[in-house]
Structure 1
Amino acid sequence: MAANSPLSKTEKDKVKTSPALDGAKVDELLAEVVQPIGFWQIGLVLLNALSSPNTVVLSIFINSFPNHRCQMSTDIEAWFSNATTEAVNSTVWSIRQIAEIFSPLPDTSTITRACEIYSIKRRANSTVEEYIALFANASARGIPTEKCSHGFVYDYNPHQYPGGVVAEWNLVCSRAWEAPFNESAYMAGMCLGFVVGGWLSDRLGRRIAVLSTGMTEFIICLLACLSPHHMFYATTRFLIAACFSARVAVATVIAAELTTAKYRSILTAIGSVIQLTVHRMLIAILAYFVHSWRILTGCMFLLNSGVLILCFVLPESPKWLAARGRMEATGRSLYAGYRTNLRFANLFSKKANRQTCMSEGEFMGLIGPPCLPTTSETEEDEVRNYMPVGDVEVEMHASKHRHSSCWCRPLNCELVWTTFLAIILLTCHTISLYGMVFYSTHIRFHVSLVVAVNAVANMPGCFLSACLYRLFRFRKRPLLWLILIATTFQSIAALHTLILQPDNDILLNVFGNIILLLQTAGIMMLFVYVPELYTPLQRNRGFGLSIGVSRIGALAFPFINQLDVDVIHGIPLAIYAGISAIQLLVLLFLKDTNGEVMPPEEVDGRECTQLRSAKSGTSSEASQSLHDIA
């Protein structure tokens, strides 16, 4: 039969009596034919992860807050500068010493923040020494102050990144709120991205969602490098975060849908190692040598260019296609994976063990009637009218039915309750994880070294999550034990620091990296567990909404960490231990999962019967009409 010839009545009858291609059938094909994990799955996960750099840690470098003072006139600045070269005066002046002469300083010894100068007029023909002498005891004499008229002088300590946005755009004093604002903008963008990403991928497909967000991030990253002012930069950070988080949410679902439940945690761990360890170490190394935030951001632009390769190799999710009854497209997607995995398996196998690759027609025969490989794409809707109603088909019709009557029917209570608990669970983990990441930067070493050590600590966490879900069939129990152990370490570290107040933080530093390892494993396991709480058609939207709203919680960790300075050293760890304990309580109310395809719980037996009857009646009427036309 020709490739685009119409279906005959006999072929339509074969389609009518053939089994539906649903999520369970796709899992079976992945396990027995395509292979659940191979070069196809690993290659796609690696390429997608490498082309989406984890830019959240850029703010640690770019927003570094330096010591600053008011800049004086040119001759006065030259007089102080000469102290470091020729002996015009015998003192080498630090930025704090100069600031103490001309400005009132806040009661702090950790950082110099001079935002005003004493208002003293300089007499004509007076020397610099004479003018400086006028500022003696200016504070005690009650001399008024005025704003800095010549700008600011900045001085970064040896542990800071020296080329951030604060010095370029003078984000100090009255504008000091703007630097933390771009961090908040990034977190807000992540919240939006996770929600929109779930909706976009469920509506238009996983492939379109990944490519559209990736290309948009690619363009916006270029604009960020060319930012003319800080508010433009903060806006680009918001949009980059939205695109990045949307892409991560969709990529997580794609990784889950390209394999079976047994290997999902492995694929998730592979992508996580790239983003949490490789990317962060790369950013830390680049920041150590590149002292311009524009060039550092441009390096992220180069990494984003990998999305151009994804345009040619990224397939659509076979489970997403199967859920919409697109059998031919599902078969082509699975066949691409089968062919790729087999070719690379044969490449590294002995000649006697190599297998022959079946043709596309033979492969399509495994998933449906022989006529499907030769059916044109435009006839898929006609074919679907003759397919029996499987679980996913029933769920799709039920979803449409619920959507059409959403104004007169209440929300599904179980679905709302599950989403509510998932949001609390992910919010608690987000606060604790980001809090520990940024709390560890208080260590008095170069910030690049701190970030690199944290990145290394993430790697065993990623593999730990993969091993736990590889060994345990059900998801909930290992997650409970992991969070319990992390809570225990947080409690011990908090009590030790709060009670003893040691002179050094050796134990705190060791425990901090162990906690970070456990928290990283926990977020990876949650990225596997939470999507499985939903049925396939609700999965991406439910997971996207949960992880998106939970990002709002990330706005709280800077204030919690600030308590370490304002209240007592170690109090943030006690708060994070309490937050982790809340996670344990929430998990007790959530159901357990094992990664297998769930039947649509929202559809009761009566509704399934009605939908099947309606579908059967529609198919009979369509069949009769086509028969009359023939």
Structure 2
Amino acid sequence: MGNYDDDTAFLGQKGPFFITLFFLLNAIYISTGFHGLYIVFVGASPLHHCQVMDGNLSKEWLTASIPKEMEDGKTQPSRCWRYNLDTVKNLSARGYSPQDVNLTDIMQEKCVDGWTYSTDIYHSTIVSEWNLVCDSEWKVPFASSTLYMGYLLGSFVSGQLSDRFGRKKVLFTSLAAEALVILAQSFSPSWLLFCILYFFVGAFQISLYITAFVLGTEVLSKSFRVLFTTLGAFLHYCIGYMVLPWIAFAVRDWRYLLRILSVLTVVYIPLWWLIPESPRWLLAQGRVMESEAIVRQAAKKNKVTAPDVIFKESEVKETTLQIGKYSILDILRTSNIRKTTFMCLLLWMAINIGYFGLSLNTSNLSGDPFLNCFLSAVTEVPAYIVATFLLRNCPRRPLLSAFLSIGGGFLLLIQLIPESLHALSLALEMVCKFGFTMSFAVVYIYTVELYPTVLRNLGIGICSSAARIGSITAPYVIFLGTFNRYLPYILMGSLTIVSSISNMFLPETFGKLLPETLEQMQTCKSFLKRDDHILEEGKTTVNMKEEKNKSSQQEINT
């Protein structure tokens, strides 16, 4: 077959077909925005204290039976302990008031009768329904992690499925399956089943995200393709992210919230008849007539005339590089590749821990959690716009280090802000989110430009796995805030600063041709200087593979 872009050049770069498809595919990303972070509200922990099951106690004794504890510099009722109820009832029956006794002398006990939860903000969450507090508090970050564990599985499986069954089928199957699993999750009778279903929500959601991304890059024209992969998907994800807190604000019960989010997916049903299959994929499957039919329909919508034969048989020039197949071992084969990979893994992990950590932490911030979540989402919109503009004009290395320094540096400053200035703390956290979001946009392009063509897919795949590990870890980093409010900020800030410094030792890629082979790959800078033995290792590896492939080709020719 001839080149697809050349064969379909008559469609032009714009037109109703491309414009409509651009917005339809981006509309799907809105669902990923409000499906991806609903755990912020579903798993929120309302204010709570031990339940005192005794109607004979006076209101004064009921209040006094809960010990006071210092938390973040404030005196608050204990969430996990109460004074021994038998002792309290005995003192009350003998006519003593709480002021007559030294309460600290009374033995404390755990909340054996359960907890009482505030309904001022949330009517019901999985925390209040299944008592995921105190000794069971670890179950909340674990539930959050199951989504990202599902991401890990979906990332591996979705590509293979879409290559076999088609982009469109996998896209809409993932969309429908995600909605059904969320609906089933709203009926979960236990925390364990909730986590299992949440795992599959993650698997289907990342499959949806990746497949829509691939479909868009294969069907859209070159000009729309660039816009779709830079701003389109990210901004529409932000729209869904911004819609989520308003839905959660109107529906304070976690079960009804999930049901509404699931039912909203029905608006995408008509898209099955509006979004076509990828003509490129159909051509790869040998289904030329079906591919031509889609392109002719696109020509009709764009009001251009299609040639009599769109995909004609032509001479295929053998221009494939004689490099052979590379394996994951080649990522670690040379010293230069190992150093580059290690620093990329650190970057991806730090950025994902910071980004998802701050996203999940919005319900723990001072002030209204719904407004905090909305502001966190709004912050991402200018971040993606600014990052896209800067990527077109600025070097990658100082750009990424600057964004990471903004995110990590302000995280370390938050602990210095007095508790009374919670508005300033919130503003600093939004600045941090801004920095991490811009880093998120830059690191994808920077990594693609660092690795040579022969190892690019493997490199991105390994970095993506590190990103998933980072997102799985993020809920546990936030969980440390139950012991010390500022500990998550210190850990995330320190890790980000370290990654920002290590990034400066990577080579600059702005304005340079993409490397094709290991030999063309740039070496790390500063103390990781370009060593002759590193270059020789790369040359030897390439030469060995080239000789092997030449021998194989000679045998085939013979």
Instruction: Give yes or no for TM over 0.5.
Output: yes
Aligned: 1:457 with 2:390: no
Task: Name the counterpart of 2:182.
Answer: 221
Query: Equivalent of 1:480, from 372, 394, 397?
Result: 397
Query: Equivalent of 1:43, from 5, 10, 23?
Result: 23
> What SS does the corresponding residue of 1:153 show, helix, strand or coil?
strand
- Aligned-pair RMSD on alpha carbons? 4.5
> What SS does the corresponding residue of 1:549 show, helix, strand or coil?
helix
Task: Name the counterpart of 2:434.
Answer: 517
User: How many angstroms does 1:491 deviate by?
Assistant: 5.9
Query: Equivalent of 2:347, from 419, 425, 435?
Result: 425
Task: Name the counterpart of 1:549.
Answer: 466
Task: State whether residues 52 and 214 of structure 1, in contact with CA within 8 Å, keep that contact through their aligned partners in structure 2.
Answer: no
Task: Name the counterpart of 2:536.
Answer: none
Task: Name the counterpart of 2:130.
Answer: 169
> What SS does the corresponding residue of 1:358 show, helix, strand or coil?
coil
Task: State whether residues 22 and 220 of structure 2, in contact with CA within 8 Å, keep that contact through their aligned partners in structure 1.
Answer: no
Q: How many residues align?
A: 525
Cα distance change of structure 1 residues 173 and 563 upon mapping to structure 2, 3 Å threshold: closer
**What are the within-5 Å matches in structure 2 for residues 316-395 of structure 1?**
316-320=277-281, 330-340=291-301, 342=302, 356-359=303-306, 362=308, 364-365=309-310, 367-369=311-313, 388=316, 390-391=318-319
Cα distance change of structure 1 residues 281 and 588 upon mapping to structure 2, 3 Å threshold: same
Query: Equivalent of 2:232, from 266, 270, 283?
Result: 270
- Residues of 2 paired with 1:63 and 1:270: CA distance? 30
Query: Equivalent of 1:236, from 183, 186, 197?
Result: 197
Task: State whether residues 122 and 252 of structure 2, in contact with CA within 8 Å, keep that contact through their aligned partners in structure 1.
Answer: yes
Aligned: 1:152 with 2:84: no
Task: State whether residues 225 and 298 of structure 1, in contact with CA within 8 Å, keep that contact through their aligned partners in structure 2.
Answer: yes
Identity %: 18
Cα distance change of structure 1 residues 65 and 303 upon mapping to structure 2, 3 Å threshold: same
Aligned: 1:67 with 2:47: yes
User: How many angstroms does 1:220 deviate by?
Assistant: 0.7
1:515-556 Cα deviation digits (max 9, x unpaired)? 323422332344455467678998777645532431211244
Task: Name the counterpart of 2:4.
Answer: 26
Task: State whether residues 410 and 432 of structure 2, in contact with CA within 8 Å, keep that contact through their aligned partners in structure 1.
Answer: no
2:42 alignment partner AA: I
Task: Name the counterpart of 1:16.
Answer: none
**What are the within-5 Å matches in structure 2 for residues 519-538 of structure 1?**
519-528=436-445, 530=447
Task: Name the counterpart of 1:445.
Answer: 367
1:310-342 Cα deviation digits (max 9, x unpaired)? 4334434445556667655554554454444x1
Structure 1 unaligned runs (5+)?
1-19, 81-92, 343-355, 370-385, 618-630
> What SS does the corresponding residue of 1:69 show, helix, strand or coil?
strand
Task: Name the counterpart of 1:98.
Answer: 62
1:591-623 Cα deviation digits (max 9, x unpaired)? 748899986888976677678788889xxxxxx
Aligned: 1:504 with 2:448: no
Query: Equivalent of 1:130, from 93, 116, 121?
Result: 93
- Residues of 2 paired with 1:398 and 1:309: CA distance? 44
> What SS does the corresponding residue of 1:254 show, helix, strand or coil?
helix
1:153 alignment partner AA: T
| TM-score, with length taken from structure 1 | 0.69
Task: State whether residues 187 and 241 of structure 1, in contact with CA within 8 Å, keep that contact through their aligned partners in structure 2.
Answer: yes
Cα distance change of structure 1 residues 488 and 302 upon mapping to structure 2, 3 Å threshold: same
User: How many angstroms does 1:466 deviate by?
Assistant: 3.5
Task: State whether residues 409 and 493 of structure 2, in contact with CA within 8 Å, keep that contact through their aligned partners in structure 1.
Answer: no
**What are the within-5 Å matches in structure 2 for residues 237-252 of structure 1?**
237-252=198-213
User: How many angstroms does 1:143 deviate by?
Assistant: 4.4
- Residues of 2 paired with 1:323 and 1:412: CA distance? 32
- Larger deviation, residues 210-219 vs 491-500: 491-500
Task: State whether residues 397 and 503 of structure 2, in contact with CA within 8 Å, keep that contact through their aligned partners in structure 1.
Answer: no
- Residues of 2 paired with 1:236 and 1:212: CA distance? 16
Q: Whose Rg is larger? A: 1
User: How many angstroms does 1:284 deviate by?
Assistant: 0.6
> What SS does the corresponding residue of 1:483 show, helix, strand or coil?
helix
Task: Name the counterpart of 2:256.
Answer: 295
> What SS does the corresponding residue of 1:516 show, helix, strand or coil?
helix
Cα distance change of structure 1 residues 507 and 27 upon mapping to structure 2, 3 Å threshold: farther
Cα distance change of structure 1 residues 576 and 494 upon mapping to structure 2, 3 Å threshold: closer
> What SS does the corresponding residue of 1:432 show, helix, strand or coil?
helix
Task: State whether residues 362 and 369 of structure 2, in contact with CA within 8 Å, keep that contact through their aligned partners in structure 1.
Answer: no
User: How many angstroms does 1:183 deviate by?
Assistant: 1.0
Cα distance change of structure 1 residues 51 and 578 upon mapping to structure 2, 3 Å threshold: closer
> What SS does the corresponding residue of 2:49 show, helix, strand or coil?
strand
- Residues of 1 paired with 2:416 and 2:87: CA distance? 53
1:273 alignment partner AA: L
1:465-511 Cα deviation digits (max 9, x unpaired)? 33345x44xxxx54434323323434653565556758525554334
- Larger deviation, residues 256-265 vs 286-295: 256-265
> What SS does the corresponding residue of 1:52 show, helix, strand or coil?
helix
Cα distance change of structure 1 residues 440 and 183 upon mapping to structure 2, 3 Å threshold: closer
1:400-432 Cα deviation digits (max 9, x unpaired)? xx79xx9xx977848985766544332121112
> What SS does the corresponding residue of 1:305 show, helix, strand or coil?
helix
Structure 2 unaligned runs (5+)?
519-541
> What SS does the corresponding residue of 1:65 show, helix, strand or coil?
coil
